[in-house]
Amino acid sequence: MTAEQVTETKAEKSAEREVTIRRVFRISLIIKAIDSAIEMAAGAALYLVSYAAIIGFVQWLTHRELMEDPRDFLANMLLHAAETFSVPKKTFVALYLVAHGAIKLVLVIMVLRDKPWAYPAFMAALALLITYQSYRVALGFSLWLAVLTVFDAMVLILTWHEWKLHRRVKAPGG
């Protein structure tokens, strides 16, 4: 194999690797968009559902478990959370979910549309989100939140990689 063939083979492998990275990046953005839409829907539903309906649902959900074991940790925790979930807190959480989901969704759509300003804005939003989620995990470990934080970190790295490529391709003479 000549040096020229080796160089061509390396270039082909590098191109294939970039196609794979780009595919994973796009899929991760679609997952973030779906997550954002679910977050917005959950916020809207929470806002529209009455306090009494929340209490009733949690009581229905935990009733059977508490009949079997009145000291069940998870059931008691859910019931306590519902009972202490005030109207102002409910409104704040609902509006937070809608706003947070909307911001992420807009940024994801703009990145998918290849808007140059969207990459750094999305990376900044992800960095803030990762920082906050890491803080929350440090306060009290949550496997779900830890997994979400790792996923967000992966999306941040992929976005940074894609942004670097985007800038190199869009640069004059690039």
Q: Does residue 87 sit within a domain?
A: yes
Q: Does residue 11 sit within a domain?
A: no
Q: Does residue 9 sit within a domain?
A: no
Paired tokens of 30: 């679609």
Is it the case that residue 71 has pLDDT exceeding 80? yes
The total of structural domains in the chain comes to: 1
Q: Does residue 30 sit within a domain?
A: yes
Q: Does residue 152 sit within a domain?
A: yes
Q: What angle do CA 165, 167, 173 make, to 5 degrees?
A: 105
Q: Does residue 15 sit within a domain?
A: no
Q: Does residue 7 sit within a domain?
A: no
What are the tens digits of pLDDT across the range 121-172?
A: 999 999 999 999 899 889 887 788 889 899 999 999 999 999 998 888 766 6
Average pLDDT score over the chain: 89
What integer pLDDT is reported at residue 88 of this predicted model?
A: 84
CA–CA dist 77, 100 (Å, integer): 26
Residue-wise burial string across 31-66, b where 16 or more C-beta atoms lie within 10 A, e elsewhere? ebbebbeebbeebeebeeeeeeebeeebeeebeeee
Paired tokens of 109: 């759509």
Q: Does residue 77 sit within a domain?
A: yes
Give the structural domain span for 142: 22-170
What are the tens digits of pLDDT across the range 72-99?
A: 888 888 888 888 878 888 888 899 889 9
